[in-house]
Amino acid sequence: MGRGGDRRRTQAYDVELGTAVSLAQQGDEDGFAAAYRLVHPGLLGYLRGLVGDDAEDVASDAWLEIARDVGRFRGDGAGFRGWTATIARHRALDHLRKQRRRPRTSLIEQDVLALPGRADTADAVLESMSTRWALAQIRELPPDQAEAVLLRVVVGLDGPATARVLGKRPGAVRTAAYRGLKRLAEQLTSGSGPERAADAARGAVKDET
């Protein structure tokens, strides 16, 4: 299916998420559970890229804050994904500061620690490789590229939302994501990844141009 179909799937996903969030804000436990089910896998993958094996603990802290403040959230399903990613990122940076160590994945440099506070690319790349393999490859990217790709590919944020989470200019984030995806495509083409992944990754690079 082409990019139009991918967009429709993403839109349907965000409509479902928006409905779940609206119910959660009214105190509906099933609504919150549905929002959790839709958001958590991508959020956990993002945190694994930041804090490695501590991702589950950091995710738990993030969800406690999300549950506490969900009533204050204003926006749609896509906005909720960006909002939860921002909270998760803050909790990850707090965790790293407390540990006084660099993340096991070497994604976050000191300049990142000083910062304030289902895209079609995700479908193309992750459908063609195992999540574990994909995260391992993303961890090898330069820090700015790695986090941009994690937010775009694993969490599924668009470019502007990714820029807001990172506190950077959209152009800089777009460039970092493009370079990271191009590098992944080159690795896949060289035969370092599962079969069929090369064409998908090349298509992901085109989406970022």
Tens-binned pLDDT, residue by residue, of the chain (209 aa) = 445 555 666 777 889 999 999 999 999 999 999 999 999 999 999 998 888 889 999 999 999 999 999 999 999 999 999 999 999 999 999 998 888 655 444 444 343 333 333 344 444 444 444 556 677 778 788 888 889 988 988 888 988 999 999 999 999 999 998 898 888 888 777 655 544 444 444 444 455 55
Cα end-to-end distance, the chain, whole Å: 20
CA 173 to the chain's CA centroid: 13
Angle between helices 170-189 and 197-208 (to 10 degrees): 160
pLDDT given at position 198:
42
pLDDT given at position 7:
63
pLDDT given at position 132:
64
pLDDT given at position 52:
86
pLDDT given at position 187:
74
Give, in order, the Cα–Cα distances in Å from 165 to each of 23, 115, 138. 25, 10, 18
Amino acid occupying residue 59 = A
Amino acid occupying residue 152 = R
pLDDT given at position 105:
44
Query: Helices (DSSP H) in the chain: which residue ranges?
Result: 3-25, 29-51, 55-69, 77-99, 110-113, 120-126, 131-139, 143-149, 159-166, 170-189, 197-208
Give, in order, the Cα–Cα distances in Å from 90 to each of 50, 56, 117. 11, 15, 6
Does the predicted TM-score (pTM) go above 0.85? no
Q: Which residues of 29-46 are buried (b: 16+ CB within 10 A; e: fewer)?
A: eebbebbbebbeebbbbb
Instruction: Give me 158's structure tokens.
Output: 């668009």
